[in-house]
Structure 1
Amino acid sequence: MLTSGVVLLHDNARLYMSTAPLIQYPVLKIRLPDIKRIVQRRFLLRQVGLEIYCESNSQVTHLYLSLKSEAERDALYQGLLDQPSVHLENTEQEMMTLQWQNGVLSNYDYLLYLNSMADRTFSDLTQYPVFPWVIQDYSSLKLNLDDSKSYRDLSKPIGALNEVRLARLKERCEEMSPPKFLYGSHYSAPGFVLFYLVRKYPHYMLCLQNGRFDHPDRMFNSVPDVWKNVMTNMSDFKEVIPAFYDTEGVGDFLVNTYGINFGYRHDGTKNGDVQLPPWATGPQDFVKKLRDALESDHVSNMLHHWIDLIFGYKQTGSEAKKADNLFYYLCYEGAVDLDSIHDLNQRHALEVQIMEFGQIPKQIFTLPHPQRRTGIPALMPTGGDGSAASSEMDERSTLQERVHSVSCFPVWHSFSTLKNIAPFQTHKEAVTAVAVAGNKQFVVSVGQDSLLKMYSISEKRQVRSVTLSSMALSSCIIMPDDKSLIIGSWDNNIILYNMEFGREMDSVRGHEDAVSCLAWGNKNQILVSGSWDCSVRVWQGMAEGRRIKPSSSLIAQFDHDAHISCLSVTR
């Protein structure tokens, strides 16, 4: 539902919104210190939306605004950012992607985050969060999550899963005049969202359809039937919504809780609760098993392909065409400039079409999305009691609150939680590398002043300073025994230093130019070095602090077209 109003940003640290008199609260007041997130949104394919999230104890916890123009939206956005009393949470996209890659963030929460980044929100049915079908077996008595045949192919859009149907769609597309498209229906639209949620939010469906429900045979009656239709129908390509994987919601959208009379189907059966697959004992079990499937290694290995299709580089252009991912042109941002259309009837017709047909999410990635690492312990709950899940139509909790710090993999949400316990300002030039001993007793640093320095954490003082080269030192690694140190130098050398005896044990010419970085592979006991000579070299036999012998220690070399700046060895 849309309502008109006036927004006022006041210098008394408050934001006021005056709405139509028929609304329950004609004046909304928000304390600026209560604002935690402000997100610029797209509304009807125009950059005019602004979503504001506040503290849970605020009078208004959430507000979605659509302004007249992008300039007005940006002015309000900047005005809020300029207020000294506004302190926003920080969520860096790169950090979230890395956390997801390393198992800190679940697939469910990462998809919610990507939807939010792509201007899809629970507050806008025209741009509701979209999730993939991940299971294709809805007929077996038992769901086998260890069998790859149970899963849908996430590298293809939903419309391309059935090759026979796809061939017919392509044939139809070739016969079209430009602009051509494969799919005449979208994977997410207001009607599809309420199709799934009609039992939970029947009043929204009544608003959408002028006070009546859809024909009983066209309603969401059976999960297996919907999947069958999505796989075979020439005009049905819808994906699903977060509720299918929200274990906190316990599948309440599948139950006719209010006992509404939705009518009778053609076979005489009454429309009540949604029919589930044979392998589900009930709504809660259905959602739990789907969530387990979403968090499985199989889906984790393939999910980046689906992200490329929906949010990434396969969303538009030639890559979309190659991936059979072409939709009607009005689904894409920039296809039509509503502000340039002065005929009110024509503009209204386009707005209705954009609103009801479906909108392609805002593109987040222009390069292939990285794959999630699997085979490492899960650091986030995947479902059941205490799972991190969002309820439909209500984003009271932010993703930041649900990405917890884990003892073996600390995650910092802001620098406000960090405390400086001991500063050491003893280098004369730039510090190029630091390393912390495994026993957490001391810190080692090297710098462009050619110095190696060692600090005691418990004593909070420097305990050693050594000149190791006539040129800058670039990198350092403390060996697992906490006694040996390997150092890279701009004089092309790799230095082995014994911290127990305080002396250099060995030095070898490791590269033809400056050694720029080092990395240690603890599992295979290998040293990897990078250099300005554009090469990466892999060494062995230094785990016990033995001398470096290039003839026997060097086991591999890889060449780049530019200087090596950083190295990392996977676990």
Structure 2
Amino acid sequence: MKGEISNFEYLMHLNTIAGRTYNDLMQYPVFPWVLADYQSETLNLSNPATFRDLSKPMGAQTEKRRQMFLQRYEDVVNDEEEGDMSARCHYCTHYSSAIIVASFLVRMEPFSHTFQTLQGGFDIPERMFFSVKKEWESASRDNMGDVRELIPEFFYLPDFLLNSNHIELGCMEDGTTLGDVELPPWAKGDTQEFIRVHREALESDYVSSHLHLWIDLIFGYRQQGPAAIESLNTFHPYFYAQKGRQNAKDPVVKSTVLGYISNFGQVPKQVCHTVFKRILLCESFVPFKKLFTKPHPPRTGSKKEGSSPPHPTPFFFKLDKLKASAQPFRELPRGPVGQILCLEKEVMVLERNRLLLSPLLGCYFSWGFPDNSCAFGNIATEKTFAACESLCDWGETLCAACPNPTTIVTAGTSTVVCVWDVAVNKDKVTHMKLRQPLYGHTDSVTCLAVSEVHSMIVSGSRDLTCILWDMEELSYITQLAGHTTSISALAINELTGEIASCAGPRLYLWTMKGQLLTCIDTSCGPRPDVLCVSFTQRHEWDAKNVIVTGCADGIIRIWKTEYTRTQLPGPPEEPVSPGQDRTERDVSNSCQVKGWERHLVLCQELNRRQTVSQRRFKNNPAITALALSRETLTLEICQRSPQGQD
């Protein structure tokens, strides 16, 4: 209610309370259409006309359509002999059903198989899901039998819009082969950009202040009864769960109800209908203490309403005003910094070849000893309390990562990535056991990155490749090839799953599937190599998020992604025929389709020891580690001093 969780999370909680689940296509989570503009090059999220009317169901998005459904309702006369079959309702189809879900996800298995099972094969291509714009027009304006809403995947999963499996979906009447879903112009031809902008729209101030109206229609007091009739929001009686329960003893009626639900869908459980039940639900579900009022209250916490304290501004929102601290907050006497951790109440700095195992246990893992062994120590006392020879059989360890207190990932000159099970308790190592060696590299592994959120390990090597590993299955996923030199730094975006890899001066950006999104040469001087990299992760839909790199020349460089138009390759230029004006031909060539390309753009350079430009690269110590504070208010960096200390 105060903007403390996202609208997406809010809707997922509501779906769960209402009995909607990913495990049942007939009761799949339901999400709203939030936009009405699928033709503009750029969306204006401050313009109400950009959005769908959330106070009305899909059957009433236009006045003409509303009148048609209203006429349908008034034309039906309840016949007691016919029973429920002739009951009055506005809609004889539903906004969520197994076939609707399968049609949206038809380009992915197992939904492709499910769709064919339900439909008896693929549908006529023109009736398949092939365009977001066409789907909106059908559900909101053109098709009286279509009042569908959306599914959660429209706000987080770009893969379902791509025909990556090359499924043969047929050809349109004009000969066009059905492949990837056609995106609106504002998506720049990029499924990831579609998801980002669509999610940004869901989280916008307009939707936040009107979402309660849609909730009332789907989960609330306008779902049934007089309020539903007034709102043009009634469905066939068999779509309601309580109707099936009332007639459960009659096998014929029960079979009919199940048939309707299987084919057309089911209305979610009404989560707010009487005061007594609202109170019980509120007590049993603490995060929604104010949720079940009648009508549903609007979500607050937007900039305009200002009911909650404003959030501090992230550092990357004001790059031109960034200031470096006059003095370092800590210097390490024994070598360069290898890891910075921004914890809730402190910033923790560890030397190279040391890794925090657990803030609660207060212990670290260290490597790089002459005998290739490893050790565990206490952070507070700086004393080693255990040494292990488990790593000795795997050559020199060059890097390590710790996704959780019971797992350590190591790699080095053996070319093998090793995943270890570790148990530490009260400055004692109970065991350190090899869970699985991962083979794939052909040269020394130089860096690692892990993500528990995406269950992924990324390893970078001197063999000029990175490999993605499944952290649960401990198996190979894919390889990131095309680097020009040894990999020096890696980072995983916990929100989007994007991967940044650095090789020499080059910065690469990849998807979790191994698709290269873009790359750039960051060279700006005699010591251009990138030594560390990090993502800002404020919100996955925020276009202001940046990538931060720390380089050997002592410069912090901040990058953002932008889209630029590109001329797609066209037919070869034809000679001017007799009687044809060259200008006429040039005009016809200018009508070629233009595409979009994603680029990394330098938006700021930060230099703590900025002096005259001639001495800029010569005297700056290298940046060895980066970290962002928990609220991305500050950027923490570590530089190697002239004496080799930090």
TM-score of the pair, normalised by structure 2: 0.42
More strand by share: 2
